[in-house]
Amino acid sequence: MIAFGLGIASRNSALDIIETFFPLPAVNPGEDFARELSALCGLEPGNSGYRTLDAEGLESFHAAASQAFEHEQERTAARLRDSDGPVLLCISRSQSPPTSVPEAFLKLHLLSHRLARPHEQNLDGIFSVLHNLAWTSRGPVSLQDLPGMQLQARKKGETLSVHSVDKFPKMSDYVVPSGVRLADSARIRLGAYIGEGTTVMHEGFINFNAGTEGQAMIEGRISAGVMVGENSDLGGSSSTMGTLSGGGTEIVSVGRNCLIGANAGIGMPLADGCIVEAGLYLTAGAVVRELDAEGNLVRTCKALELSGLAHRLFRRNSLTGAIECLPRKAHVALNEELHAHN
């Protein structure tokens, strides 16, 4: 997949680019337009990179976009023509890891704009590319520049509010996807993929390169790399295990029509129609007793061996303490009125 974006960059006092906002990124331009984009960036066809555009370069982009697209990209070029910050053009290839701040931000924008799904892009090394910044009421600020800016604000009788110190900003400062409810937008990082009809309650959290397929209720944690299927519900303080740290390699996912109860969690893929009982943390290596519909023991195995079985209830036997897996017939159903985000 080829992606490109025309964006506004932020710089620190040393004039290094520390962040980039792409109002309308796009994917898979036609071959002719892709060649023109590469030429504007000074790149060989097939390579990723970016270039800051002067007035002439921006006009060249505007002319090329007017031939290749209906109207959106040329409107973006016109709107950015009088920007205070440097305007740049960035090209990214899904199979290539990000090598610059603009390319890293473009890849994150693509996820939150639903133009790329989690795991469709190579994000290797993104932490080393991004800067740790103060995300403030005046936008991103280099930590080296922060004390001086705070002092200048105080001298004017103002306060520079620091919302967070992180490498990733909150998604809603860049993208607000259609058809979602976000009770606390600070808990959703740029690069989250949030499907149409998703509700994220106050304690819900969604990391980058993770998210929901469509309608869902999220009151728990979706870690990086985890995708939650449509019509699934993550109960309060529930969690999913990611692979960013700890040496884990198993990609965790939640199927459709699933329920992970309050204070429960999973460290393995969960098939469609499954329920994990409240308070049960189901790791891939947990020993589970698989039962049939009559409650007879079928086998004892690791939980990961059951990850492909749909419509199962995972529970802890309150008498023996053993984790059990048994078939279930009822389906998880979300409240249609609650998730109609008109």
Beta-carbon contacts of 133 under 8 Å, excluding residues fewer than 6 positions away, are 18, 19, 140, 141, 142, 143, 165, 166, 167, 169
SS3 161: coil
Rounded to an integer, what distance in angstroms lies between the CA atom of residue 276 and that of residue 259? 6
Rounded to an integer, what distance in angstroms lies between the CA atom of residue 195 and that of residue 188? 13
Q: How far is CA 152 from CA 32, 37, 132, 260, in A?
A: 49, 40, 22, 49
pLDDT tens, the chain, 342 aa long: 999 999 999 999 999 999 999 999 999 888 888 899 999 999 988 899 999 999 899 888 888 887 666 557 777 777 787 788 899 999 999 999 999 999 999 999 999 999 999 999 999 999 999 999 999 999 999 999 999 999 999 999 999 999 999 999 999 999 999 999 999 999 999 999 999 999 999 999 999 999 999 999 999 999 999 999 999 999 999 999 987 654 456 789 999 999 999 999 999 999 999 999 999 999 999 999 999 999 999 999 999 999 999 999 999 999 999 999 999 976 666 666 665 666
pLDDT at 78: 76
Helix H or strand E segment including 76: helix 72-80
Rounded to an integer, what distance in angstroms lies between the CA atom of residue 12 and that of residue 8? 14
pLDDT at 81: 79
User: pTM of the full predicted structure?
Assistant: 0.93
Q: Which two tokens stand for residue 38?
A: 């590469």
pLDDT at 247: 47
CA R_g for the chain: 23
Q: Which two tokens stand for residue 169?
A: 């900003």
Rounded to an integer, what distance in angstroms lies between the CA atom of residue 135 and that of residue 149? 13
Residues annotated as part of the active site:
219
Q: What share of the chain is helix, strand, coil (3-state, %, to 5)?
A: 20, 30, 50
Phi, psi of 164 (to 5 degrees): -165, 160
Rounded to an integer, what distance in angstroms lies between the CA atom of residue 57 and that of residue 81? 10
